[in-house]
Amino acid sequence: MPAAAADAIAAVCRADRFDIAEIGVAAEASGNPVTPLVQALRAAVEEPTAQWVHFATTTQDVLDTALMLLAVRAGEPLLQCLRVAADACAELADRHRDTLAVARTLGQQAVPTTFGLKATTWLSGLDAAGRRLQDVLRRRAAVQLGGAAGTLAGYGTAGPAVMSALARGLGLCDPGLPWHTDRQRVLEIADAVAAIGPAAAKIATDVVSMASSEVDELREGGDHRGGSSVMPNKGNPVHCVLIRAGAMQMPGLVATLHHAAVHENERAAGAWHAEWESLRSLISLAGGVADRGSRLVADLDVDPARMRANLEASGGEVMAEALVQRLRPLLGHDGSSNAVQRCLADARQRGVTFREAVAADEQVRSVLEAADVDEVFEPRNWLGSAPEFIDRALLAHEQAWP
Amino acid sequence: MPAAAADAIAAVCRADRFDIAEIGVAAEASGNPVTPLVQALRAAVEEPTAQWVHFATTTQDVLDTALMLLAVRAGEPLLQCLRVAADACAELADRHRDTLAVARTLGQQAVPTTFGLKATTWLSGLDAAGRRLQDVLRRRAAVQLGGAAGTLAGYGTAGPAVMSALARGLGLCDPGLPWHTDRQRVLEIADAVAAIGPAAAKIATDVVSMASSEVDELREGGDHRGGSSVMPNKGNPVHCVLIRAGAMQMPGLVATLHHAAVHENERAAGAWHAEWESLRSLISLAGGVADRGSRLVADLDVDPARMRANLEASGGEVMAEALVQRLRPLLGHDGSSNAVQRCLADARQRGVTFREAVAADEQVRSVLEAADVDEVFEPRNWLGSAPEFIDRALLAHEQAWP
Amino acid sequence: MPAAAADAIAAVCRADRFDIAEIGVAAEASGNPVTPLVQALRAAVEEPTAQWVHFATTTQDVLDTALMLLAVRAGEPLLQCLRVAADACAELADRHRDTLAVARTLGQQAVPTTFGLKATTWLSGLDAAGRRLQDVLRRRAAVQLGGAAGTLAGYGTAGPAVMSALARGLGLCDPGLPWHTDRQRVLEIADAVAAIGPAAAKIATDVVSMASSEVDELREGGDHRGGSSVMPNKGNPVHCVLIRAGAMQMPGLVATLHHAAVHENERAAGAWHAEWESLRSLISLAGGVADRGSRLVADLDVDPARMRANLEASGGEVMAEALVQRLRPLLGHDGSSNAVQRCLADARQRGVTFREAVAADEQVRSVLEAADVDEVFEPRNWLGSAPEFIDRALLAHEQAWP
Amino acid sequence: MPAAAADAIAAVCRADRFDIAEIGVAAEASGNPVTPLVQALRAAVEEPTAQWVHFATTTQDVLDTALMLLAVRAGEPLLQCLRVAADACAELADRHRDTLAVARTLGQQAVPTTFGLKATTWLSGLDAAGRRLQDVLRRRAAVQLGGAAGTLAGYGTAGPAVMSALARGLGLCDPGLPWHTDRQRVLEIADAVAAIGPAAAKIATDVVSMASSEVDELREGGDHRGGSSVMPNKGNPVHCVLIRAGAMQMPGLVATLHHAAVHENERAAGAWHAEWESLRSLISLAGGVADRGSRLVADLDVDPARMRANLEASGGEVMAEALVQRLRPLLGHDGSSNAVQRCLADARQRGVTFREAVAADEQVRSVLEAADVDEVFEPRNWLGSAPEFIDRALLAHEQAWP
């Protein structure tokens, strides 16, 4: 191919020269937008240059490579949003490493924890999703070049060299061989993009729960305030709602892409075409949840006093595990369980707190001093390795983002 | 915890001591099988040993770690099947590197290729899926240990040390911190397992197509012959059918696991429980398709003569791309296209082959000698980098399986 | 076919005569269990009777008809569970038609409602799902009989008559013509079964939320109490958790069945086989959520006092909509909004309730008397058509279950 | 509400008065487009009219009702396309009721059938999907009106009357009671829309198979001819490819809608929002596949001669079922099977056709005359009830579209 022809073609390869809507309409007849685009490109140069347009390549080479470029380019702001969100989580984890809060399992208050540790879980999810996407884009986003059916016949034996040069030119991986009907790369990228959904939705779901009127420990901040169209009293968690909505639409798209990953013979009659919109929607939704996730966490209002109040609202019941463990060597497994159950029942019956019932229980007091009871009911004594886990997550976070 | 207690508990931890059906029935009331299992274990040792059973840990620690063990253990035969299948593909690719066949795109005969290159695509899909699963199991299959809500409060500050020891004991990764509500690990494993579906279904779908009565290039071998219950003439591609059926059920499970990856607060009220059956089914289906895939490829009957006959059936139309490229420098882009279209129409109208029409076309013959036409219509001259791609895939295969 | 042969065959058609496990193992080779079953049946009668076994029919006729029978038979207890659950919701709706509660939108307290109206929403979901499943099973669950490829060639021209007789004998619909590759019936049934998931999960999700420690308005009753393996203080909502887990697995199966509904030519190579496990799992999960749903609602503990307390916890903010509407004709749209916003801010700033702030607001008091303010802040005055909606739902419920 | 206010508001309710892009941007802050739309409407009228804009209703009322209107309005052209496609199938079924073709099961030639019967299967799928959608839109597409949380408090006790009037005005069903958190209607509509996918994809998949180079019985007609960008010999089945691609994206959206059908409390924090895009995409994809499906079938080129040639290509093997049935009363089940297997083997070994081998088989000829063999091998004698099934499907088609 003469260098002058290449230069002439490159000179007209400018998006603003082409009417995308017109190409879109024409795509209907050929079943893809490349055919009309190639025609328009050929018309934009003259013979004999025109014969070198789309030389020895095929529609799928163009579209597959374009999808990969799109994934890599969209991946940059997406990863940036994830990183901002993760940094904000790290900040929360560090700042609230001593902020007592109650852990909730299956909707029920369980045991003490810290808000810092809650934020650590958010952090580790975001870091894992971010690391995975970085890694997969770096390793797997490759040019596709196979020609009509994967032999690159039109290039003689120069195919691999052209493939390498194209990869260098576009900043994508050189796949070594065509992958037009082996969609493992597409799957690996799609799966990694999709994993951003749950990482962000975990945070949004926790915030919806913790921002509910009855819990009221967190509130969305920032300059928006999710007003209701009719209820002026409300401050709706808009970021959370839209993150959850976005994340909820992603698994269906992942499933579509897994179905569409079976490409028969040398070009799939439908499965390939089903990838286009699905992968773009998936990336777009991931971008939305990552962007909103970064703003949600960065602007989050935290109410440590309310966290403390909620922790104390059970009258000490959330310390039951601590009490059982303290009593077990003294009363045995069954003895300690029975004692705790008796105190729980006693508290409910007499309308006193669990802690009061424990302090008044003869069997318990036969083995524990008042100071021991105080010690057991101090949440700070029952945080285990929470601070250590926070340190570890912060260290891992520093290493996750090069 | 006294060493004697540990030994006593370990001594009763034998699956055959427990009635799994009974535990299953009892699981209905607690919502999980760990509660009745722990009760049975406690009953199997005596106080004071009983108090050390399930010490400072929680149901989710047991189930999450069990799921990871299951993934790793099931992963071994699964990877072995994949490797056998990939080895068989490599064998086919190597043996049939010169076996001419026709490439089919969108159901239509397109250009020449080799059966070896077709097998190479199967190979690269299996290798990619296998490498991915090996990698993810090695890096991400970790113990879960968090205690009631992720602080490991019951171990004081010894939590991380216990976690490491547990990981070593079970041959799983040490995650550094609990991941009970960060399901990125589960997702990453599930996604990798699910990618086996399309890798195997690609092969099965190709074989169904190439084993169809009208194509008849491949046939399932082995000692089964998929007899019809009523049509003695038939030899149904049973392996293919069941591989496709298995693979078709996997994307829905992946989607379920992506939905179920959002775990609110410190334990999800349903999302976690939805993982159990979904992940097990996914692994089980992957095992089925990998096993059948290995047998399908290893026993495949290949008919090179029929491949050659099908390649020739179009009377040279599959060489149209080659002809266009040969004519283009001589007649220009439009000129060469017009000449080829004219010959196609002429052939159909006169009932001769495309090749005959080309040989008789005045314009073509004004620029090409008879020997040139013969050269253009020789499929072996239009295989491009097929042999090189086979070599590359075989080399990559050797490196994919340590 | 001689009547004596029919009788002889019918006599051996008893499930206990066959080794299901053995048939299952043999199914592996043929790709379906019918081939070995037919062999076993033939072996169980003698020639010449054996030739009439499976006469002129095919594997798919047997399996498709069996799936339909299974759907109808499983449908009975499933619908019974739904009805019990719906009856229990109707009972709750009727009993709690005057039980004040707070409505929550996007996790936030919104306006007053009644617990009866909440139960009405549960009721209408269950009734709709139940009506739909009754209707679809009655209209669409049909025998499949097409013979080898849908012509019923083996029956001469008697095919339609045999089909009708089979339908009568099995209590299924007569489809008029074979549907082996038209899966609209399967889809319609699967979709209806799947709709049970959200109907039940809506209830379970509401109960998890309303049973959370901080809301505490509902509690699972019955003889189980979802104890934690380590936290004696907890009463986990086990029914809800498992209903949600079951419902979360159903959409993936629906999607699989929609994918598997495309059956190529006269028998699908995989799509058909993918239906078997998917439809059975879907029905089984629906049965589980319906059964647990019926127990959840029937045994539910309701705490009207706590509902009232939560309604009042906002100090009247949940009456903001009522206040705006009352003020709007007096102050205009903007004027009334501004007044309410001012009072909300004032309340938060001064640490008084919204109601107190309103009662002290000069502009408000310039247009409303103290008695007017009392009237506005009475939740019972702001229930709109709640009682009417309850009556309508109860009436519809009576008509939904013949 | 004063009639003059209503008139004034109605007068400004014109889509061209509002900047949709601007409303879209503003929707980001409130999480929905209704809030900025209501603000724009209020700004477009003056006080005191403004206070009646969006009176006593809420965002969800507007959006849910809009979605229902959209479904009904999109349903009209969608159903029209389906009907055109079904009419074209009926035409094919009628015209080709005697066009012999081969039935294919699991990719293999099986027994004779007619192309008319194949078209009948397409027809019955389209008719079923069309009937279902008509029915569900008529019965279930309803206005939603509940106000802030389902009580319609703002209308006093006039709520039900307003709801009825709104339903009449918009031509939607009156639901009787609000359904904002009971999504059974949405599901029922979505499921019915989704069922169009497989109905159309069944046709497209059959055509791809029957238009493949080696089968070549059908070809896409019309004014497009799916040219390849590089292979002038190809005529790609573009309609089929895009129908299959569209249909492949629908199950994932159905699954999303099933997940999103669980709406907690009185307004879901995400699940509701996930419906918007999913339902619109689903309807849009259904419209695409129905439109293309109608063009595909209406323009389809059928090649009866090639169908006949393919039927005969097996040398009579596709008549094996007929032969077995003819021999069975004469030789018993095993005897007839053995004879046929022997002839199949003999034909393959000697390189003669199955029919020739049968005619030469001594055991067969000991029970069948030459004329009997001719009779058995005449495909027209082995069509069973194919004509009757075509008649039934045509009759049902007439009744399916009022």
Q: For an interface test with B, which of A49, A51, A144, A263 has the most B Cβ atoms less than 10 Å from its Cβ? A: A51
Is B58 in Cβ contact with C228 (below 8 Å)?
Answer: yes
- Chain D neighbours (≥3 Cβ pairs under 8 A) are A, B, C
pLDDT interval class at A42 (50, 70, 90):
very high
Which sequence positions of D are flagged as catalytic? 228, 267
pLDDT in tens, A245-269: 999 999 999 999 999 999 999 999 9
Q: Where do we find the tokens 């045991």? A: A111
Closest Cα partner for A377 from A305, A316, A313, A310? A316
User: Is omega for the bond preceding B48 within 30 degrees of 0, making it cis?
Assistant: yes
pLDDT interval class at C234 (50, 70, 90):
confident
Contacts of B121 in chain A (CB under 8 A): 150, 181-182
Nearest to A232 among C235, C241, C324 (CB): C324
If asked whether residues C121 and C245 sit together in one domain, one would say yes
Return the pLDDT at A235: 82
**pLDDT of B385 over the 60 cut:** yes
Return the pLDDT at A230: 65
Which residues, numbered 78 to 97 in chain C, qualify as contacts with chain A under a Cβ-Cβ cut-off of 8 Å? none
User: Which residue of chain A comes nearest to C206, CA vs CA?
Assistant: A107
Residue A219: φ, ψ to 5°? -150, 140
Contacts of C354 in chain A (CB under 8 A): 233
C267 an active-site residue? Answer: yes
Return the pLDDT at D382: 98
How is residue D142 written in tokens?
């309803």
DSSP single-letter state for residue D266? T
Contacts of D237 in chain A (CB under 8 A): 269
Q: Is residue A19 part of a domain?
A: yes
Among residues D292, D309, D326, the one where a domain terminates is D309
pLDDT interval class at B226 (50, 70, 90):
low
User: Which residue of chain D comes nearest to A205, CA vs CA?
Assistant: D269
If asked whether residues D298 and D321 sit together in one domain, one would say no
CATH number for the domain harbouring residue D222:
1.20.200.10
Is C389 in Cβ contact with D104 (below 8 Å)?
Answer: no
Q: Is residue C160 part of a domain?
A: no
Counting one residue from chain B and one from chain D, the pairs whose CB atoms sit within 8 A come to 120
Contacts of B320 in chain D (CB under 8 A): 231-233
Q: How large is the ipTM?
A: 0.96
Among residues B268, B286, B309, the one where a domain terminates is B309
pLDDT interval class at A222 (50, 70, 90):
confident
Return the pLDDT at C232: 75
DSSP single-letter state for residue C382? G
Helix A184-194 and helix A271-298, axial crossing angle in degrees, nearest 10: 30
Furthest C-alpha separation in chain B: 102
If asked whether residues C24 and C63 sit together in one domain, one would say no
If asked whether residues D230 and D249 sit together in one domain, one would say yes
Report d(CA D184, CA A81) in Å as an integer.
Answer: 37
Return the pLDDT at A333: 87
- State which amino acid sits at residue A165: A
Instruction: Note whether A359 and A89 are within 8 A (CB).
Output: no
Counting one residue from chain B and one from chain C, the pairs whose CB atoms sit within 8 A come to 153
Q: Is residue A325 part of a domain?
A: yes
User: Which residue of the set C95, C132, C219, C267 is catalytic?
Assistant: C267
Domain of D13, in residue numbers? 3-52
Q: What percent of chain A has pLDDT above 70?
A: 98
Closest Cα partner for A310 from A94, A112, A116, A93? A112
Report d(CA C223, CA C234) in Å as an integer.
Answer: 15
Residues in chain B: 402
**pLDDT of A283 over the 60 cut:** yes
SS3 content of chain A, % helix, strand, coil (to 5): 70, 5, 25
pLDDT interval class at B219 (50, 70, 90):
very high
If asked whether residues C286 and C270 sit together in one domain, one would say yes
**pLDDT of A162 over the 60 cut:** yes
Which residues, numbered 19 to 78 in chain D, qualify as contacts with chain C under a Cβ-Cβ cut-off of 8 Å? 42, 47-48, 50-51, 53, 56
User: Which residue of the set A132, A219, A267, A308 is catalytic?
Assistant: A267
Q: How far apart are the first and last CA of chain C?
A: 41
Q: How far apart are the first and last CA of chain B?
A: 41
pLDDT in tens, D389-398: 999 999 999 9
pLDDT interval class at C47 (50, 70, 90):
confident
Give the pLDDT mean for B313-329: 95
Give the pLDDT mean for C342-357: 95
Contacts of B235 in chain D (CB under 8 A): 108
If asked whether residues A70 and A177 sit together in one domain, one would say yes
Q: Is A335 on the interface with C (CB under 8 A)?
A: no
Nearest to A262 among B205, B252, B263 (CB): B205
Q: Is residue D152 part of a domain?
A: no
**pLDDT of B184 over the 80 cut:** yes
Return the pLDDT at B38: 94
Q: Is residue D368 part of a domain?
A: yes
pLDDT interval class at D47 (50, 70, 90):
confident
Alpha helices in D96-158 (DSSP H): 115-140
Report d(CA B306, CA D183) in Å as an integer.
Answer: 56
Q: Is B147 on the interface with A (CB under 8 A)?
A: yes
If asked whether residues A220 and A317 sit together in one domain, one would say no
Q: What is the distance in angstroms between the Cα of A222 and the nearest Cα belonging to chain D?
A: 11
Q: What percent of chain D has pLDDT above 70?
A: 98
CA C246, C252, C256, C257 torsion: positive or negative?
positive
Q: What is the distance in angstroms between the Cα of B140 and the nearest Cα belonging to chain C?
A: 24
The 3-state secondary structure of chain B reads CCHHHHHHHHHHCCHHHCCHHHHHHHHHHHCCCHHHHHHHHHHHCCCCHHHHCCCCCCHHHHHHHHHHHHHHHHHHHHHHHHHHHHHHHHHHHHHCCCCEEEEEECCEEEEEEEHHHHHHHHHHHHHHHHHHHHHHHHHHCECCCCCCCCCCHHHCCCHHHHHHHHHHHHCCECCCCCCCCCCHHHHHHHHHHHCHHHHHHHHHHHHHHHCCCCCCCEECCCCCCECCCCCCCCCECHHHHHHHHHHHHHHHHHHHHHHCCCCCCCECCCHHHHHHHHHHHHHHHHHHHHHHHHHHHHCCEECHHHHHHHHHCCCCHHHHHHHHHHHHHHHHHHHHHHHHHHHHHHHHHHCCCHHHHHHHCHHHHHHCCHHHHHHHCCHHHHCCCHHHHHHHHHHHHHHHCC
**pLDDT of C46 over the 90 cut:** no
**Domains: count for chain C:** 3
pLDDT in tens, B189-201: 999 999 999 999 9
User: Which residue of chain B comes nearest to A116, CA vs CA?
Assistant: B151
**pLDDT of A129 over the 90 cut:** yes
Which residues, numbered 251 to 290 in chain A, qualify as contacts with chain C under a Cβ-Cβ cut-off of 8 Å? 252, 255, 259
How is residue D214 written in tokens?
């080696």
Contacts of B209 in chain A (CB under 8 A): 264-265
Q: Is A238 on the interface with D (CB under 8 A)?
A: yes
Residues 6+ apart with CB under 8 A from D249: A256, A274, A277, A278, D281, D285
User: Which residue of the set A228, A348, A350, A385 is catalytic?
Assistant: A228
Give the pLDDT mean for D372-388: 98
**pLDDT of A47 over the 90 cut:** no
Report d(CA A175, CA A162) in Å as an integer.
Answer: 12
Return the pLDDT at A46: 85
Contacts of C106 in chain A (CB under 8 A): 208, 226, 234, 236-237, 241
Report d(CA D190, CA A257) in Å as an integer.
Answer: 21
**pLDDT of D223 over the 80 cut:** no
Q: Is residue D369 part of a domain?
A: yes
Report d(CA B187, CA B191) in Å as an integer.
Answer: 6
> What DSSP element (H or E) covers A339?
helix A320-350
User: Which residue of chain D comes nearest to B345, CA vs CA?
Assistant: D233
Return the pLDDT at C333: 87
Please state the pTM of the whole predicted model.
0.97
pLDDT in tens, D82-109: 999 999 999 999 999 999 999 999 999 9
Q: Is D186 on the interface with B (CB under 8 A)?
A: no
Give the pLDDT mean for C168-180: 98
How is residue C67 written in tokens?
């799936």
**pLDDT of A188 over the 90 cut:** yes
User: Which residue of chain D comes nearest to B314, CA vs CA?
Assistant: D213
Return the pLDDT at A375: 97
Higher pLDDT, B29 or C227: B29
Report d(CA D386, CA C149) in Å as an integer.
Answer: 10
A396-400, B92-96, C48-52: least confidently modelled range: C48-52
Q: What is the distance in angstroms between the Cα of B28 and the nearest Cα belonging to chain C?
A: 9
If asked whether residues C234 and C377 sit together in one domain, one would say no
If asked whether residues A93 and A186 sit together in one domain, one would say yes
Mean residue pLDDT of chain B comes to 95
Q: Is A351 on the interface with C (CB under 8 A)?
A: no
Q: Is D226 on the interface with B (CB under 8 A)?
A: yes
CATH number for the domain harbouring residue B336:
1.10.40.30
Return the pLDDT at D228: 64
Nearest to D324 among B105, B211, B232 (CB): B232
**pLDDT of C77 over the 60 cut:** yes
If asked whether residues D247 and D362 sit together in one domain, one would say no
pLDDT in tens, A301-324: 999 999 999 999 999 999 999 999
Contacts of B241 in chain D (CB under 8 A): 106
Return the pLDDT at D63: 97
If asked whether residues D233 and D366 sit together in one domain, one would say no
Q: What percent of chain A has pLDDT above 90?
A: 93
pLDDT interval class at A279 (50, 70, 90):
very high
**pLDDT of A214 over the 90 cut:** yes
Is B313 in Cβ contact with D213 (below 8 Å)?
Answer: yes
Q: Is residue C270 part of a domain?
A: yes
Quote the radius of gyration of chain B (alpha carbons, Å): 30
**pLDDT of B356 over the 70 cut:** yes
pLDDT interval class at A233 (50, 70, 90):
confident
DSSP single-letter state for residue C270? S
Q: What is the distance in angstroms between the Cα of C72 and the nearest Cα belonging to chain B?
A: 23
Report d(CA A381, CA A375) in Å as an integer.
Answer: 7
Return the pLDDT at A228: 64
Report d(CA B187, CA A129) in Å as an integer.
Answer: 10
Q: Is C340 on the interface with A (CB under 8 A)?
A: yes
Which residues, numbered 94 to 113 in chain D, qualify as contacts with chain C under a Cβ-Cβ cut-off of 8 Å? 103-107, 110-113
Is B211 in Cβ contact with D214 (below 8 Å)?
Answer: no
Q: What is the distance in angstroms between the Cα of C387 and the nearest Cα belonging to chain D?
A: 9
If asked whether residues D386 and D343 sit together in one domain, one would say yes
Q: For an interface test with B, which of D208, D225, D231, D254 has the most B Cβ atoms less than 10 Å from its Cβ? A: D231
Instruction: Note whether D213 and B107 are within 8 A (CB).
Output: yes
**pLDDT of D163 over the 60 cut:** yes
Give the pLDDT mean for D28-42: 92
pLDDT interval class at D399 (50, 70, 90):
very high
Return the pLDDT at B225: 57
Among residues B309, B338, B369, the one where a domain terminates is B309
B157-161, B274-278, D25-29, D226-230: least confidently modelled range: D226-230
Give the pLDDT mean for A224-244: 79
Helix A238-259 and helix B238-259, axial crossing angle in degrees, nearest 10: 170
**pLDDT of D326 over the 70 cut:** yes
pLDDT in tens, B230-256: 677 778 899 999 999 999 999 999 999
The partner residues of B100 in beta bridges, in order of sequence, read: B114
User: Which residue of chain A comes nearest to C318, CA vs CA?
Assistant: A233
Alpha helices in C351-367 (DSSP H): 354-360, 362-367
Which sequence positions of B are flagged as catalytic? 228, 267
Q: Is residue C365 part of a domain?
A: yes
